[in-house]
Structure 1
Amino acid sequence: MDADTLGGVQRVTHTMAQGLAERGREVHVIGLHRAEKPFRYVERPRYTSHVIHRTPVGRLSRLGRRRERRALGRLLREVGPGFAVLASPGVVTRIGNLLPEGLLPIGQYHGSYEHARGSWHLGSVRGHYGTLEKAVFLSEEDAWLFSEHALLPNTWSIPNPLPAWPSRTAELTARRVLGVGRLEGVKRFDRLISAFAEACGRPGPGGACHDTDLMEARREAGEDWELHLIGEGAERGRLMSHAAACEVSDRVVFRGAVPAARMADEYLGGSVLALSSEHEGLPLVVGEAASYGVPSVAFDVSGGLRSLVLDGRTGVLVPPADVTALGAALAALMASAEERRRLGAAARAHVEAFRPDRVLDRWEALFEQVTR
């Protein structure tokens, strides 16, 4: 819908566009709307970007829709034959019938099956993705679930690519837990703050742990640890108040938005990444952290996440919304540099499958299969 907003779908779009362009393909990134706060993902793009509307995402008038159809129709005819990768159910339903002959539609879904079945997405995918050349999902598990429950005959799985493959890895000695993402409700950073407080032996109001010996051990092991929240959003004020209520306002650092080019330093300076979202498709922050040798603890919310984190082998997964379990997992890693190194090394080896070149190879194989 808007190609330059700060978000996971947008980041994947620009990473893929640059990678395919570097392989010699002509690539166009089309955003239907202007981003309110444009974010630059690629410093020197080798692809062409287009924006149809100068207004942010919102309801369009009849005149606006007519203008959209004319502008898109003209642009798509100029682009000519090839592949149209439609990045969301909303895009599929909005422009799928505008594609000229020779521009083959491929529908992506960046969420999980678990999330889709709890929203309007499942009905939209069931109603519209089956007529496309391919319906692409983030994991084999999700592709199978959609094929079975949405009755799709054309499913395919390709994970999102990491933006790069680093040559350096984190030392894992910094006493720092990372939380990366927009400060919005769905990310549930309030639960992460509560879990971090428990891991530091400070359960705060409503804390579930009443074992004084355990809490004292955690206070000792968690001494000087900090939780760095990297991102910006509407929940910042509420999260700051929650940190104070949990007695960790001195340990929770709100870093704001960090440019993509500087995220390498953040991962190199971290020792654990924590993910507390209500739902995710394939969270790139987990893969990026792993590529730097940083292990993750996360709520087990999707097949895509399970493809990134092998529980007990490359990181730790706990039941969704179980703050006490998340706190215990954090406490265990905060207390053991040896365990962080074991999981971190295995995590980096595992996510080699998500290196940009390997994911691009899978897209090239899909293009070949569609045109065979």
Structure 2
Amino acid sequence: MSVVFTCLDADTLGGIQQVTHTLAQGLAGRGHEVHVIGLRRSPAPFRYVQRPLYHQHVIGRPAENALARRLANGRLKRLFADVRPGYAIMTSPSVVARVSALLPAAFRPIGQYHGSYDHARGCWHLASIRRHYPALDQAIFLSEDDAWQFSEHALLPNARALPNPLAEWPAEMSVLETPRVLGVGRLEGVKRFDRLISAFARSDAPPPWELHLIGDGAELDRLRAHASHEGVADRVVFRGLVPAAAMPAEYLAASILGLTSEHEGLPVVLLESGAHGVPSVAFDVSGGVRSTGPVLVPPGDVDAFAAELGRLMGDEEERRRLGADARARTEAFRLDHVLDRWEQMFAHLDR
């Protein structure tokens, strides 16, 4: 049977897209016929897999009027009609709302949600999940905690936990001696790198400790100004975009990872850093974050975050202990283990 992933846009730089292409390549490598569909074309396409073993499709353009939407829906239905029957995995509430009614009866509808229950209930996502997900064959969430909360509070009888996968398992671990805190992600408001900069400044980190931020986005100039305001402009290094192939070296050169996002599901950056034995400090914003084992801080508490950063900066032995624990926890998220769980779910749906 085929496996079809549908995203709002499949080639934007983002966590949902990275996970989708990782799963698609992994399942295709196990002999499944796999398709990845983007409902609209990304204005800045990003290539996740250099030699994909799966099929990729784009249905429409970013700006859609009613006529364009009808035409795109027709193209989508024809595409599904040309694909062998199988499993249709819709990667967000907006995709489920649009696509589930268009699926042929031969496809088993599966809805993912890449956020947390707490985030969903704070926006329109929870109402959409309550409306559309109960009719699906399976509703997938990123942690056991989130799956339970959706089951209990959104009355979903079909909730199941399937975590994000770690695409590569590194052979090396960081020696945790470089005086560097790492932040990785889009420089956008939701990632709240301003809080990470403030925490770094308040941690009283002595030189030569630096904060390196990897990523690009609309907040770059504001974050530069914020670093200057906090008095650490000379020790906050904005690295810009780093190719995926070069990221292992970045983790090996780091001693602590900081995650100060407003909300997260199960961030791949915590998996990647943990696999390299790098301990992390994170706001406690989801079951997915908790499942990776970082040092947890109450959401938004910058002073508490600064205290934990300072503690780890000053204690190499504790960094090593937490780094080893992070690598051990991350073992469960290795791609082969996660693919096994996907295939177990497919077998369960077919019984």
TM-score interval (norm. to shorter): over 0.9
Distance (Å, rounded) in 2 between the aligned partners of 1:35 and 1:75: 19
Letter in 2 for 1:24: G
Structure 1: which 5+ residue stretches go unaligned?
Answer: 202-217, 310-314
Q: 2:144 aligns with which of 119, 134, 140?
A: 140
Q: 2:59 aligns with which of 52, 59, 75?
A: 52
Distance (Å, rounded) in 1 between the aligned partners of 2:183 and 2:44: 22
SS state of the match for residue 36, structure 2? strand
Q: 2:20 aligns with which of 1, 13, 24?
A: 13
Distance (Å, rounded) in 2 between the aligned partners of 1:138 and 1:261: 25
Aligned position for 1:230: 214
Aligned position for 1:160: 164
Distance (Å, rounded) in 2 between the aligned partners of 1:137 and 1:297: 23
Distance (Å, rounded) in 2 between the aligned partners of 1:39 and 1:332: 38
Distance (Å, rounded) in 2 between the aligned partners of 1:193 and 1:363: 38
Q: 2:340 aligns with which of 333, 342, 361?
A: 361
Aligned position for 1:272: 256
Displacement after TM superposition at 1:37 (Å): 1.2
SS state of the match for residue 238, structure 2? strand
Q: 1:262 aligns with which of 223, 227, 246?
A: 246
Aligned position for 1:350: 329
Q: What CA deviation, in whole Å up to 9, does each residue of 1:270-307 have, x standing for no partner?
A: 11000000100001101110000000001111111111
Q: 1:319 aligns with which of 279, 298, 320?
A: 298
Aligned position for 2:48: 41
Q: What CA deviation, in whole Å up to 9, does each residue of 1:31-83 have, x standing for no partner?
A: 01111111111111100100011x23x4x211101111110011000012000
Letter in 1 for 2:123: S
Distance (Å, rounded) in 1 between the aligned partners of 2:65 and 2:46: 27
Q: What CA deviation, in whole Å up to 9, does each residue of 1:329-349 have, x standing for no partner?
A: 001111111111110001100
Aligned position for 1:335: 314
**Match status 1:178 vs 2:182:** yes
SS state of the match for residue 191, structure 1? helix
Aligned position for 2:230: 246
Percent identity among equivalent residues? 63
Letter in 1 for 2:140: V
Distance (Å, rounded) in 2 between the aligned partners of 1:302 and 1:330: 20
Displacement after TM superposition at 1:92 (Å): 0.2
Hey, which bits of structure 1, 4+ residues long, moved more than 2 A?
A: none
Letter in 2 for 1:234: A
SS state of the match for residue 234, structure 2? coil
Letter in 2 for 1:337: E
**Match status 1:32 vs 2:32:** no
Distance (Å, rounded) in 1 between the aligned partners of 2:43 and 2:311: 41
Distance (Å, rounded) in 1 between the aligned partners of 2:66 and 2:274: 47
SS state of the match for residue 233, structure 2? coil
User: RMSD in angstroms over aligned alpha carbons?
Assistant: 0.8
Q: 2:285 aligns with which of 280, 301, 309?
A: 301
**Match status 1:120 vs 2:124:** yes
Aligned position for 1:206: none
Displacement after TM superposition at 1:259 (Å): 1.3
**Match status 1:109 vs 2:113:** yes
Q: What CA deviation, in whole Å up to 9, does each residue of 1:149-175 have, x standing for no partner?
A: 111111110100012111111111111
Structure 2: which 5+ residue stretches go unaligned?
Answer: 1-7
Displacement after TM superposition at 1:125 (Å): 0.4
Q: 1:190 aligns with which of 167, 173, 194?
A: 194
Displacement after TM superposition at 1:250 (Å): 0.3
Letter in 2 for 1:29: V
Distance (Å, rounded) in 2 between the aligned partners of 1:270 and 1:297: 13
TM (normalized to structure 2)? 0.97
SS state of the match for residue 136, structure 1? strand
